A and B are shown apart, each in its own frame.
Chain A
Amino acid sequence: MVDFAKLYRKMLKVYPASFRQEYEGAMTRQFRDEQRHAQGRKEHLGLWLHALSDLAVSAPRELVRELGQDSRFALRVYRRRPVSAFIAIGTLALAVGASTGVFSVTSALLLRKLPFGNASRLVELRFPPFSAGNGRAGFAEWRNHSSYLESATTFSTSEMNLNSGRDSLRVRVTETSANLFSLLEVQAHLGRTFVPEEDRTGQNHVIVISHRLWQQAYGGNPSVIGSVAHLDGAALTIIGVAPSRFDYPGNVDVWAPTVFDFEVIPKHGAFIWQTIGRLRPGITMRQARQDFKADVARVNPKGLRPESSSVPQLVGLRDQLSSQIRTSVLILFSVVLLVLLTALANVAQLLLSRTAERHQEFTLRSALGASRSRIIQQLTVEATTLTLSGTTLGMIVALLVARVAGAIMPAQLATQEYTLLDWHVLCFAVALTLITGFAFGIMPTWLMGRVQPSTKVVRMHSGTSEAATGRLRQALVSLQVAFTLTLLVSSFSLGSAFLRLVHIDLGFKPANAVTLKISLEGTRYQTEGAKWQYYSAVKERLQSMPGVKAVGAVNYLPLSNSVLMAGSIQVESGPKVPGVVLNGSMPGYFRAVGSELIAGRDFGFDLGKSPEPPVIVNEAFARESGFGRNILGRKIISPWTPRPYLVAGVVTTARMAGPEYEGGPQAYWPVEEEPPSALTFVASVSGDPQHYLTQFRDAVVGLDRSVPVYEVKTLDQSLDETMERPRFYTTSVLFLAGLALVIAVAGVYSTSSRAIIQREHELGVRIALGASIQQIRTLILRQGTVPVAFGILAGVVGAAGCGLFLQHLFLGISVSGVTAFVVPSLFLLLIAVGTAWSATTRILSIDPIEVIRAEH
């Protein structure tokens, strides 16, 4: 027969330790008594039901009461040693916060569902066999007969001037095939989206605007539907407003079904077509990739050659959206996890030493009748208080991290915004808290395993338990040192790569330069003469302002993220130079931007009259042509113009995309010859360029209000923006390495000083027997250095592995060469040895007489 009383006794385990210790016996006995008195099945059943309901009500109440007492006691314990508690909580908060913050980015980009219907079936097709370039019929034919795609849409995004009737704005416009919204399964917030035929010429004079634009430019007025807006001068009817959370393909304000039509909104310069599709139901990604490759091979067999820079690829839409920052975020996440582990090792250290120090207290309490579970409960509560305060504070840090990350590496879509209020992130934070709490909660249990009431109360530092904790502490130090070294090596490499970037010669001088953009699309300046007249007027106006030293203008300004057009240029009686970026400039540009003319001269107005128009090439071009400076006076032929140009000057090579990327060959032709519809003006000024921004804008707007003037900023600002990510990665890794270093030093210090406390008696005897203090310090030091040395060895291996990934953060990072490893290793070793040595000053306080006397 089942012993119900025994079963009942087992159930009592849900009560807190102290209560259980006190009343377990009485309660079980009472249950037995009641069982005896109960008659019949019904009464027995009633007894059980009553017991269970009683348990359900009273156990939580007792638990809360007792844990409350325990945590108040824990707070008193920590208040006695506030510094080490502060360090443990602080490092835990920083580490947990940083990892949760970075995880919120990871989650937003890689885990969160996209705000589109059936988003898992959406893919991007890179270099597909058909795109907008094949025309509407060709594209429709391809997509309708695809074996793996249910549907596909093609689009390109560019900046345009929007005239809403009142203001002139610069907006991002996505020109697309009519099915973009239906493919993404998105409904209009107001009005409607495009119908299938609306991307036909003649029917495509319609646009859908973003919720943001609707609010900002139209004040959220519903009567906007049906009204006309001008995009680069083209009159288009607004038929719908997109939902507020919709901004695909990112930061877009207007969608127009004009991707196949080159006339409605005139297209200029370079643009990139993107193609996305929805896979047929049941088709796996793998299968889709194979079908896609077969598709490409059928249409364009050369397209699949691996050496081509434009390899066709089919990727999930979420991966495509996050591709820019995906690797960086994963790297940062791993770095942060390393710091987290280091911090956890530190908290473990603290709890270990605390438990060891209070060995006497526990032995005494145990002898006075406290049950083992009572002591374990107390220790667990102490550990949980610590980790819980750390992780709670950590959430504030996480909030900051998410905010900083959002500013520096924003997600492409508004719905991918980094937030902690995301169930993945919340789960992560809760799991982290639970894991740390649990790990540190059971550790004391494991340590207390050997405490028995019968152990001698007087001799505390007895035997095996101490030796075991000693070994554990050394292992923890090795671990901390290894992680720290990995981080130090990484930050050393990142830091030196970053410094190289800062000091690199850009080929121009951003200091003291102010830039502003002007677009004449859709304005009254449409003829070449009118454009040139307007540009000349702007230049004159700026030049006449006090403090302005030089003014010029250019098609593509360095650091401005433009899509550049490149082609091959034939040097007369010389080679063909491939990949030359064609740029146009106004006289004075090179002086204004601080590029040096190393041969020849800048455009003058008279030069335009010569039979061959002049062109200025950069050093990279001169070098690749094989002529060097002797290119001066030679003729070159571009693929876009039939006439040859005469090389009139050679200018330094500008790093167009910022310090990370070397500048390629470029040729500047005088914009006067064929004024483009947009130009960027540059002026070099004396004094702080910030002071000129408003003045410049006002001066140019004053010329003609209908022309939008935008991106008025200093060139230094643009450089800062380009450097933002390298700077962010460098500072964050440096900061994390610093944090790890502090944590590891604390670990080394406490292990060494702990070792001395443990062996106080032995050391006292040694001193009494004539060993000098120096000898003993060296002995302790040697033992303290062993785990550090192991850690450094492991760290070197770890760092070498890490280096392979770091290179993805930004260009120019190399974790190789002796310095990258030796400098951080030596640094860490010196600090560790110094710390261990300073911990040994404790030996000086050992009085051998006292020690020996205590023996008797």
Chain B
Amino acid sequence: MASSIKGIDELLPLSLPLFHMLLSLTEGERHGYALKREILQRTDKRINLGSGALYGAINKMLEQGLIVESDERPDPHLDDERRRYYRITPLGRRVVRAEVVRLRALVRMAEVRIGVPDPV
């Protein structure tokens, strides 16, 4: 169902959960629950994705071609075979980078306007 023909700009801005999920996936393949836990930890429990929201987002990213389902299992002994793992696609990487660029530009613009000093 990949429809990566869409321009990257059309996919931006990414919603915060989507951004976090893609960010996690850049580090390697994950299954749904792992993504959820990682984001929970990284955001000090501020973003707690429900299953519906989580798999809704996964479904959407699959359709948009940002991620694919992976056939490989990192460690078949450790993990439950039935879990599905997801892998980020090159398009997904480009999108998450573009989002970072967008955010950085936004932050810089704001810094210039209100004069926030660089953190020491």
Task: List CB contacts (< 8 Å) of A276-295 with chain B.
Answer: none
Q: Does A72 contact B (CB under 8 A)?
A: no
Task: List CB contacts (< 8 Å) of B72-103 with chain A.
Answer: 80, 82-84
Contact A53 B59 (CB under 8 A): no
Chain B residues in 8 Å Cβ range of A26:
31-33, 51, 55, 83-84
Given contacts A30-B32, A30-B36, contact A54 B59 (CB under 8 A): no
Contact B82 A25 (CB under 8 A): yes
Question: Which single member of B31, B48, B51, B82 contacts A27 (CB below 8 Å)?
Answer: B51
Chain A residues in 8 Å Cβ range of B83:
26, 29
How many angstroms from the CA of A409 to the CA of B78 in the assembled complex? 81
How many angstroms from the CA of A15 to the CA of B52 in the assembled complex? 9
Given contacts A19-B59, A22-B59, contact A27 B52 (CB under 8 A): yes
Tell me the nearest residue of chain A to B60, going by C-beta: A65
Contact B59 A51 (CB under 8 A): no
Chain B residues in 8 Å Cβ range of A19:
55-56, 59
Contact A50 B82 (CB under 8 A): no
Q: Does A76 contact B (CB under 8 A)?
A: no
How many angstroms from the CA of A25 to the CA of B31 in the assembled complex? 13
Question: Which single member of B50, B56, B84 contacts A51 (CB below 8 Å)?
Answer: B50
Q: Does A57 contact B (CB under 8 A)?
A: yes
Chain A residues in 8 Å Cβ range of B54:
30
Contact B52 A57 (CB under 8 A): yes
A43-60 to B contact mask, C-beta < 8 Å, 1/0: 000000011011101110
How many angstroms from the CA of A379 to the CA of B53 in the assembled complex? 27
Task: List CB contacts (< 8 Å) of A352-373 with chain B.
Answer: none
Given contacts A50-B50, A54-B50, A58-B50, contact A29 B55 (CB under 8 A): no
Task: List CB contacts (< 8 Å) of A631-665 with chain B.
Answer: none
B15-57 to A contact mask, C-beta < 8 Å, 1/0: 0000000000000000111001000000000001111111110
Q: Does A73 contact B (CB under 8 A)?
A: no
Given contacts A29-B83, A30-B33, A33-B33, contact A23 B55 (CB under 8 A): yes
Question: Which single member of A15, A29, A55, A62 contacts B50 (CB below 8 Å)?
Answer: A55
Q: Which residue, A19, A51, A53, A54, has most C-beta atoms of chain B within 10 A? A: A54
Question: Which single member of A23, A30, A57 contacts B59 (CB below 8 Å)?
Answer: A23
How many angstroms from the CA of A103 to the CA of B62 in the assembled complex? 50
Contact B56 A61 (CB under 8 A): yes
How many angstroms from the CA of A59 to the CA of B51 in the assembled complex? 11
Q: How far is the CB of A113 from chain B (nearest CB, A)?
A: 46
How many angstroms from the CA of A33 to the CA of B83 in the assembled complex? 12
Chain A residues in 8 Å Cβ range of B80:
29
How many angstroms from the CA of A845 to the CA of B7 in the assembled complex? 51
Q: Does A492 contact B (CB under 8 A)?
A: no
Chain A residues in 8 Å Cβ range of B49:
54
Contact A31 B51 (CB under 8 A): yes
Contact B56 A62 (CB under 8 A): yes
Contact B52 A62 (CB under 8 A): yes
Q: Which residue, B51, B58, B59, has most C-beta atoms of chain A within 10 A? A: B51
How many angstroms from the CA of A217 to the CA of B49 in the assembled complex? 71
Q: How far is the CB of B49 from chain A (nearest CB, A)?
A: 8
Contact B55 A27 (CB under 8 A): yes
Tell me the nearest residue of chain A to B49, going by C-beta: A54
Contact B82 A58 (CB under 8 A): no
Given contacts A26-B84, A30-B33, contact A50 B48 (CB under 8 A): yes
Task: List CB contacts (< 8 Å) of A19-43 with chain B.
Answer: 19, 22-23, 25-27, 29-31, 33
How many angstroms from the CA of A420 to the CA of B120 in the assembled complex? 70
Tell me the nearest residue of chain A to B62, going by C-beta: A22
Chain A residues in 8 Å Cβ range of B56:
19, 58, 61-62
Q: How far is the CB of A50 from chain B (nearest CB, A)?
A: 6
Contact A54 B53 (CB under 8 A): yes
Q: How far is the CB of A52 from chain B (nearest CB, A)?
A: 9
Q: How far is the CB of B93 from chain A (nearest CB, A)?
A: 24
Tell me the nearest residue of chain B to A8, going by C-beta: B51
- Which residues does B use to contact A, with CB under 8 Å? 31-33, 36, 48-56, 58-59, 80, 82-84
Give the 6 A-B CB pairs with smallest separation, nearest first: A54-B50, A58-B52, A23-B55, A27-B51, A54-B52, A30-B33
Q: List 20 A-B contacts (CB under 8 A).
A: A19-B56, A23-B32, A26-B33, A26-B55, A26-B83, A27-B52, A27-B55, A30-B32, A30-B33, A30-B54, A31-B51, A50-B48, A50-B50, A51-B50, A54-B52, A54-B53, A57-B50, A58-B52, A61-B56, A62-B59
